[in-house]
Amino acid sequence: MRTRALAIRIIRQFVRDKRTLALLFLAPLLVLTLMHFVFNGQHVKPHIGMAGIPPKMYDSLKIEGADLTSYPGIPEAEQALKDGNLDAVFSIVNGQPSILLEGSDPSVSQAVMLVLQKSLQANMKSIQPNISYLHGSSDLSSFDSFGPVLIGFFSFFFVFLLAGVAFLRERTTGTLERLLATPIRRSEVVGGYLLGFGVFTLLQASLIAWYSISVLGMYMVGAVGLVLLVNLLLTLTALTLGTLLSSYASSEFQIIQFIPIVIVPQVFFSGLFNLNAMQPWLQKLSTIMPLYYGADAMRGIMIRGETFSDIQLDIYVLLGFSIVFALLNVLALKKQRAI
């Protein structure tokens, strides 16, 4: 009888907690559906720029399924590669084939080389091409390619989780309620919490970046200061988002419930998976994912050596996310008490 009574009490608790029921039944379906669209998307063809290629070889490459674009000269093709419109440039000068790879993604470079090597074996068996890299090198590993994304992800995830739990504890222990009873403004409350938490997010961002580059030896050609700036903005976004969502949670468990909805979808759009393989309509979701902009900027700095002017859009978007979430935090405090 006691066992049955306890079981009935637990069942009733679950039935009353609609958020837990949604996490239990709907969240797995959401993640599985997203994975279905990500991994069963469209086939990605390597995009290769061509300059000075014989018509016979051009037709051979088309048969292999590469996405080809012809250019009047090598400088035009290389400029398109620098602008991010190509994966590689294939040219022939005085009978010598040359391959210039974009190089920031080893998997894409391998796909390009597979297509081109098949064509060269069919048309120029005895000639070895000159292979060079715009970014990276032949030694660039998958970890070097994904590393900048992982730095951003772990910074974002742990700050989001810890900020949400810490701010929730301020509410549940009555600290925030007593604070709001004073003449302090809601904006000052939010600013104080963000400044206090922000000190530790700055330390965390610096530690993760330093450890990844100096200890793990992650590939790095850009400015360390820019890496710290982007990582700080990313953690600031996670901080403001975590404190915002904690306003709608009543326990640490409910903070955890936000992870499948807020964190997991961002992983798929962060750059760990090829966005071009997704359906076009699904790719548009990346524009509302803070982690997408942080990961894009981190890879640009660490692998392609981009400067502030190259990543300024990502920086401004992350700053915009932080400001919007901070303002929403101020509005969310009205739930506690209007000042």
The pLDDT value given to residue 64: 67
**pLDDT exceeds 50 at position 118:** yes
Confidence label for 308 from pLDDT (cuts 50, 70 and 90): very high
H or E stretch including 49?
strand 47-51
Q: Are 38 and 286 in contact (CB under 8 A)?
A: no
Q: Which residues contact 294 (CB under 8 A, 6 or more apart)?
A: 152, 156, 230, 231, 233, 234, 237, 270, 314, 318
State the Rg of the chain over Cα.
25
Would you kindly state where each structural domain of the chain is located, as residue ranges? 47-133, 142-335
The pLDDT value given to residue 339: 39
**pLDDT exceeds 50 at position 256:** yes
Query: Residue 279 CB: number of other CB atoms within 10 A?
Result: 12
**pLDDT exceeds 80 at position 31:** no
Q: Are 109 and 145 in contact (CB under 8 A)?
A: no
Token pair 């998958």 is at which residue?
A: 142
pTM: 0.81
Predicted confidence (pLDDT) per residue in 85-109, tens digit: 888 888 887 778 888 898 888 888 8
The pLDDT value given to residue 336: 56
The pLDDT value given to residue 51: 84
Predicted confidence (pLDDT) per residue in 163-209, tens digit: 888 888 777 777 767 776 777 777 777 788 778 877 887 888 888 88
The pLDDT value given to residue 318: 94
Judged by phi (left if over 0) then psi (alpha if -120 to 50, else beta), residue 103 lies in left
Report the range of poorest mean pLDDT among 43-47, 100-104, 116-120, 333-337: 333-337
**pLDDT exceeds 50 at position 329:** yes
Could you say which architecture CATH assigns to the domain 47-133?
A: 3-Layer(aba) Sandwich (3.40)
* Sign of the four-CA dihedral 225, 229, 234, 236: positive
Quote the Cα angle for 74-76-79, to 5°: 105
Confidence label for 285 from pLDDT (cuts 50, 70 and 90): confident
The pLDDT value given to residue 312: 93
